Amino acid sequence: MATDAPPPSKGGPEPTRSAPSTAEYVDMQKSPEFGELRTAHRSFAFPLTIAFITWYLLYVLLSNYAGDFMGTKVVGHINIALVLGLAQFLTTFLIAWWYSRHAATKLDPRADAIKSRMEGGA
Protein backbone atom coordinates (compact mmCIF):
# COMPACT_ATOMS: atom_id res chain seq x y z
CA MET A 1 0.00 0.00 0.00
CA ALA A 2 1.62 3.31 -1.10
CA THR A 3 1.15 6.56 0.79
CA ASP A 4 2.18 10.09 -0.05
CA ALA A 5 3.40 10.88 3.48
CA PRO A 6 7.17 10.78 4.04
CA PRO A 7 8.46 8.16 6.44
CA PRO A 8 9.12 9.26 10.03
CA SER A 9 12.57 10.69 10.58
CA LYS A 10 15.05 8.48 12.41
CA GLY A 11 18.05 10.43 13.61
CA GLY A 12 18.06 12.80 10.65
CA PRO A 13 18.16 16.53 10.84
CA GLU A 14 15.47 18.10 12.95
CA PRO A 15 12.87 20.16 11.15
CA THR A 16 13.75 23.81 11.01
CA ARG A 17 11.64 26.38 12.80
CA SER A 18 9.54 28.59 10.59
CA ALA A 19 10.42 32.27 10.28
CA PRO A 20 9.42 34.44 13.24
CA SER A 21 6.04 36.10 12.98
CA THR A 22 5.48 39.83 12.79
CA ALA A 23 4.34 39.82 16.40
CA GLU A 24 7.61 38.17 17.47
CA TYR A 25 9.59 40.88 15.66
CA VAL A 26 7.52 43.61 17.31
CA ASP A 27 7.97 41.99 20.74
CA MET A 28 11.74 41.78 20.19
CA GLN A 29 11.84 45.41 19.09
CA LYS A 30 10.16 46.39 22.38
CA SER A 31 12.45 44.22 24.51
CA PRO A 32 15.12 45.72 26.80
CA GLU A 33 17.71 43.56 25.04
CA PHE A 34 17.00 45.23 21.68
CA GLY A 35 16.83 48.65 23.35
CA GLU A 36 20.33 48.13 24.75
CA LEU A 37 21.62 47.19 21.29
CA ARG A 38 20.02 50.26 19.75
CA THR A 39 21.41 52.51 22.51
CA ALA A 40 24.91 51.04 22.12
CA HIS A 41 24.81 51.75 18.39
CA ARG A 42 23.33 55.23 18.64
CA SER A 43 25.58 56.39 21.48
CA PHE A 44 28.57 55.65 19.25
CA ALA A 45 27.32 56.49 15.76
CA PHE A 46 25.44 59.74 16.32
CA PRO A 47 28.11 61.74 18.18
CA LEU A 48 30.83 60.54 15.82
CA THR A 49 28.73 61.40 12.78
CA ILE A 50 28.05 64.89 14.11
CA ALA A 51 31.73 65.38 14.93
CA PHE A 52 32.84 64.26 11.47
CA ILE A 53 30.28 66.40 9.63
CA THR A 54 31.36 69.39 11.73
CA TRP A 55 35.01 68.68 10.91
CA TYR A 56 34.18 68.36 7.20
CA LEU A 57 32.14 71.58 7.13
CA LEU A 58 34.94 73.41 8.97
CA TYR A 59 37.33 72.33 6.21
CA VAL A 60 34.92 73.51 3.50
CA LEU A 61 34.29 76.84 5.23
CA LEU A 62 38.00 77.43 5.79
CA SER A 63 38.65 76.64 2.14
CA ASN A 64 36.03 79.16 1.02
CA TYR A 65 36.51 81.98 3.51
CA ALA A 66 40.04 81.67 4.90
CA GLY A 67 42.13 81.37 1.76
CA ASP A 68 45.16 83.13 3.24
CA PHE A 69 45.17 80.80 6.23
CA MET A 70 44.67 77.68 4.11
CA GLY A 71 47.44 78.82 1.76
CA THR A 72 49.96 79.09 4.59
CA LYS A 73 53.00 76.95 3.75
CA VAL A 74 53.82 74.22 6.24
CA VAL A 75 56.81 72.57 4.55
CA GLY A 76 57.98 73.41 1.05
CA HIS A 77 54.94 73.49 -1.26
CA ILE A 78 52.71 71.74 1.27
CA ASN A 79 50.15 74.11 2.73
CA ILE A 80 47.54 73.85 5.49
CA ALA A 81 44.77 73.12 2.96
CA LEU A 82 46.58 70.00 1.75
CA VAL A 83 47.33 68.83 5.28
CA LEU A 84 43.71 69.28 6.38
CA GLY A 85 42.43 67.66 3.17
CA LEU A 86 44.58 64.59 3.74
CA ALA A 87 43.47 64.59 7.38
CA GLN A 88 39.90 64.18 6.09
CA PHE A 89 40.90 60.86 4.55
CA LEU A 90 42.79 59.81 7.65
CA THR A 91 39.85 60.54 9.94
CA THR A 92 37.50 58.65 7.62
CA PHE A 93 39.65 55.53 7.85
CA LEU A 94 40.13 55.93 11.60
CA ILE A 95 36.40 56.25 12.17
CA ALA A 96 35.73 53.16 10.03
CA TRP A 97 38.34 51.18 11.99
CA TRP A 98 37.02 52.45 15.34
CA TYR A 99 33.43 51.60 14.41
CA SER A 100 34.48 48.13 13.26
CA ARG A 101 36.15 47.54 16.61
CA HIS A 102 33.14 48.91 18.50
CA ALA A 103 30.75 46.73 16.51
CA ALA A 104 32.83 43.59 17.04
CA THR A 105 33.05 44.07 20.80
CA LYS A 106 29.77 45.77 21.73
CA LEU A 107 27.19 45.32 18.98
CA ASP A 108 27.81 41.94 17.35
CA PRO A 109 27.56 39.85 20.56
CA ARG A 110 24.23 41.49 21.41
CA ALA A 111 22.94 41.16 17.86
CA ASP A 112 23.99 37.50 17.74
CA ALA A 113 22.14 36.82 21.00
CA ILE A 114 19.00 38.46 19.61
CA LYS A 115 19.31 36.55 16.33
CA SER A 116 19.79 33.27 18.18
CA ARG A 117 16.74 33.96 20.33
CA MET A 118 14.63 34.87 17.31
CA GLU A 119 15.70 31.74 15.46
CA GLY A 120 14.77 29.60 18.45
CA GLY A 121 18.28 28.70 19.54
CA ALA A 122 18.07 30.35 22.95
The DSSP line for 13-39 is PPPPPPPPPHHHHHHHHHSHHHHHHHH
Q: What is the pLDDT of residue 7?
A: 56
Res. 12 pLDDT band, cuts 50 70 90: low
Q: What is the pLDDT of residue 24?
A: 85
Q: What is the pLDDT of residue 20?
A: 76
Residue 16 has pLDDT above 90, yes or no: no
Res. 87 pLDDT band, cuts 50 70 90: very high
% of the chain exceeding 90 in pLDDT: 68
Cβ neighbours for 102, distance < 8 A, ≥ 6 positions apart: 44
pTM of the model: 0.72
| Count of residues in the chain | 122
Top pLDDT among 17 and 103 is at 103
Res. 10 pLDDT band, cuts 50 70 90: low
